[in-house]
Structure 1
Amino acid sequence: MWVSLRVRIVLTALSYFFWVEANDGKGSSLDIKGLIDVEEKLLSQMVDYSSVLQKKISLMRRYIALMRVKQTHAEPDREQYMANPLQSYSLIHHMHFDWTTWRRLMEQSLGREQISEIRALMPQISRIEYGTAMQDLIHEPMAAVPFDPVEALELATFAYDKERPDLAEMWLNVTLSGYQKLSPSKKELYKVLSVVKESEVQKLYKKKSDELIAP
């Protein structure tokens, strides 16, 4: 079943105004406002987390640059350069102490505070009327709303679960079309997040076709 292929992604958000309009009278505008607030908090934590990572990366890059300069000084004959007792002692000290420190630094868990904040915010996402919103959306792709492949694939899966293979095929078309239009950088992001691949959509097409022709 397609359920086993559900997209694993934390932040999937559709257009604010469209969702409010599509769910008018169902109390979901309040939910959407809450979702927007939660997403802003999540993004804020991600910014802080990336800052923590960047500081560590910057430190490592400065050290790498320093070591490259030292290696350049030892050219063209490193063994002869290290024959100097001062240089050999510097190398021995560096190998014994610096790399131990770097190993410990690389083993450190980063962003614990940010991860804790994100974990605390996650339960608020489940209160959004996700199923109701998808039920309203599956019947016709809205040309004015730019669905990305993740959103379209979720709707295709939802339509299939509701035993509407015709709607599932329609949303698979949106998924595949959207994926093919992605920039290389966004495709790389999708790959990192393990969300949706063109090959996966093609497999879903084949599965749907096989089930339709099965006796």
Structure 2
Amino acid sequence: MKNYSRKLIFIWFLPYFLALVLAQDAVEKSHSTSVAGMVQLLELETQLIDNLNRYADKLESKLKIVRSGIAEMSLENAKAALSIEEYLSNPLIAFSLIRRMNRDWINWELYMDEPIGTKEIDFLQDHREFLPTSTDLEEASAGFELIQTTYGLNSTDMAKGLLNGKQYDARLSVLDMYAIGQYHYDQENYGASSAWLYLTIENHKQNPVGIPLQIDFSDVLLLYAEVLVKLNRYKDAVQVINVALKDKKFDAKLIRRRLEIETLIRNEPNIKPKPFNKSVGDFERGCRDPYMVLYHDVISPNEIAELQEMAKPELKRATVYNSTKNTNQFVKTRTAKVAWFLDTFNQLTERLNQRIMDMTNFVLNGSEMLQVMNYGLGGYYVKHFDYFNTTTNPHISQINGDRIATVLFYLNDVEQGGATVFPEIKKAVFPKRGSAIMWYNLKDDGEGNRDTLHAACPVIVGSKWVCNKWIREREQIFRRPCLVRK
């Protein structure tokens, strides 16, 4: 009786047990939530590519046979073109023609109808259960969105493989962009959807998707128009539909939608467009580091030696600008000596300035001179910003603007200590001979970025040599314009 009860309990719980197992299995197959978990997915893709390659080999083998048959038959058929009646009057030829037409073409029909690559097709079908689901794609899209919104990345840059200032050997395809645009539309994030769908359209013009993956371009345009409608940009939406109608002049769905949007324009002539961008919260601001790039081997040993020899007789105690007294003064919080050199001082300074322009895409007109600095015993520089407080001291940046960027060359290795530390973003860059670091001091709206707070850590062992350039903003109007965010 006890065993019978246990069996009843087991049977009663069986559906819940199976549901639990399936739920756990579904969680384990959530491909995008772990890089390690995607390794198996990549391995599967390798197998599928190999399988498709075997399928292609079989197609090519069959195609080779067909091409060979065509060549042989065309050669014989071409003989008749010279004199058809004379050709057919030969009994050998006439018999051969009748036989070919009676039997050979039936065999060709059977050969053409013969299935190819059934084994490879079965392999693909057997592995379909291991492919990502729609849920996987949605999770991957959500993760992609999180990266973009958190770090404020540009859609165009991301599509080209430029992520947070670093270029990667990777690009998004037209289908990738389209999928991201569709995801944002489904999430009612119409600003982001419009950006990705626009990229889809522009890239599709240059590189149309081929068979068997092709997409109906009018569907992309129609979805883009729907996004623009959601953003209250009715006239733009009509223009997009008109583009779609150039290829499909009599498409009832497109014509009907254009009429509906034109009605919206008449009924709401003064409607204001909605903004494309979402507001940025504390989380996003907290995750975004100031734009910063580390270059390697950008100044040669010979150039370093020449720069140091130039600086040694010119070194003077470093000062700090006092905004209250409007003067430079010595302070205990900056223990180093500096030497300043005009951009045109010699060929070396001209070369270095040209290199800085190449590295940063900035122009240096109106910027400050090159500064070579050497730190002494326990040499350091307390936490500070490179930009000025233009609110309280507008005169200091009145002519050439504020310090939009800093370029700092490391002229030697430091045995211990001497790092450039950014406490707000918890990063430290240690001196390495020949390297250079560049960062933006100002935000897109021209305000100082407080995350650029930095300091020179005390040198424990060694002699720290650096060379820096402060780039002013006034001449950068066409290189990095001030972008006011609302």
Q: Report the TM-score when normalising by structure 1.
A: 0.78
Letter in 1 for 2:143: D
Query: Following the alignment from structure 1 to structure 2, what is the Cα–Cα distance between the partners of residues 211 and 30?
Result: 39
From 112, 133, 142, the equivalent of 1:135 is 142
User: Match for 1:209: what amino acid?
Assistant: L
- The Cα shift of 1:89 comes to 0.3
- Between Structure 1 and Structure 2, which shows a larger proportion of helix residues? 1
**Partners of 1:152 and 1:172 within 8 A in 2:** yes
Partner Cα distance (1:212, 1:170) in 2:
12
Out of 196-205 and 107-116, give the one that drifted further.
Answer: 196-205
Alignment match, 2:119: 113
Alignment of 1:1-215 (within 5 A): 26=33, 28-126=34-132, 129-138=136-145, 139=148, 140=153, 141=155, 142=158, 143-144=161-162, 145-182=170-207, 187=208, 190-213=209-232
CA-CA distance at 1:194 after TM superposition: 4.4
Q: Quick check: which one's strand share is greater?
A: 2
d(CA) in 2 for partners of 1:71, 1:57: 20
Deviations 1:59-83 (A, max 9, x none): 1111111111102222311222111
The answer on whether the counterparts of 2:194 and 2:228 sit within 8 Å (CA) in structure 1 is no
- In 2, the alpha carbon distance for the partners of 1:159 and 1:83 equals 73
- 2:191/2:231 contact within 8 Å kept: no
**Contact 1:150–1:175 (8 Å) recurs in 2:** yes
Whether contact under 8 Å (2:197, 2:224) holds in the other structure is: yes
- Identify if the C-alpha distance between structure 1 residues 76 and 83 changes in structure 2 by more than 3 Å, giving closer, same or farther: same
Gaps of 5+ in 1: 1-19
Q: In structure 1, what residue type is equivalent to 2:223?
A: L
AA at the equivalent of 1:72: A
Aligned residue pair count: 185
CA distance in 2, matches of 1:75, 1:158: 61
SS at match of 2:211: helix
Q: Is the 1:45–1:114 Cα contact (8 Å) retained in structure 2?
A: yes
1:198 deviates by 4.0
Q: Distance in 1 between matches of 2:194 and 2:104?
A: 58
Deviations 1:147-194 (A, max 9, x none): 111001000000111110011011112212322332xxxx3xx24224
Identity %, equivalent residues: 22
1:149 to 1:161, Cα distance in 2 relative to 1, 3 A: same
Q: CA deviation at 1:146?
A: 1.2
Question: Which stretch shows the higher mean deviation, 108-117 or 190-199?
Answer: 190-199
Q: Residues 194 and 41 (structure 1 numbering): CA distance in 2 closer, same or farther, change over 3 Å?
A: closer
Q: Is the 8 A contact 1:31 1:129 kept in 2?
A: no
Structure 2: state its 5+ residue gaps.
1-30, 163-169, 233-263, 269-486
- TM-score of the superposition, structure 2-length normalised? 0.36
- How far did residue 133 of structure 1 move? 1.7
CA RMSD in angstroms, aligned pairs only: 2.2
CA spacing shift, 1:167–1:199, aligned 2, 3 Å: same
Q: In structure 1, what residue type is equivalent to 2:140?
A: A
Between structure 1 and structure 2, the one with the greater Rg is: 2
Shift of 1:113: 0.1
C-alpha separation in 2, matches of 1:47 and 1:94: 35
Cα shift readout 1:129-157 (whole Å, capped 9, x = no counterpart): 33222112133432424111100100000
3-state secondary structure, aligned to 1:129: helix
> Taking structure 1 as reference, are residues 78 and 98 closer, same or farther at Cα in structure 2, changes over 3 Å only?
same
1:173 partner letter: Y
Q: Give the Å deviation of 1:45.
A: 0.8
- Matched-pair contact (CA < 8 Å) for 1:191–1:197: no
**Shift in CA distance, 105/51, structure 1 to aligned 2, threshold 3 Å:** same
Secondary structure of the residue that 1:192 maps to in structure 2?
coil
* Aligned 8 A contact 1:53 1:110 in 2: yes
Farther-moved stretch of structure 1 (69-78 vs 44-53): 69-78
In 2, the alpha carbon distance for the partners of 1:195 and 1:99 equals 34
Deviations 1:72-97 (A, max 9, x none): 22231122211111110000111111
Q: What residue is the counterpart of 1:4 in the other structure?
A: none
Once the two structures are TM-superposed, the CA of residue 200 in structure 1 deviates from its matched residue by 3.1
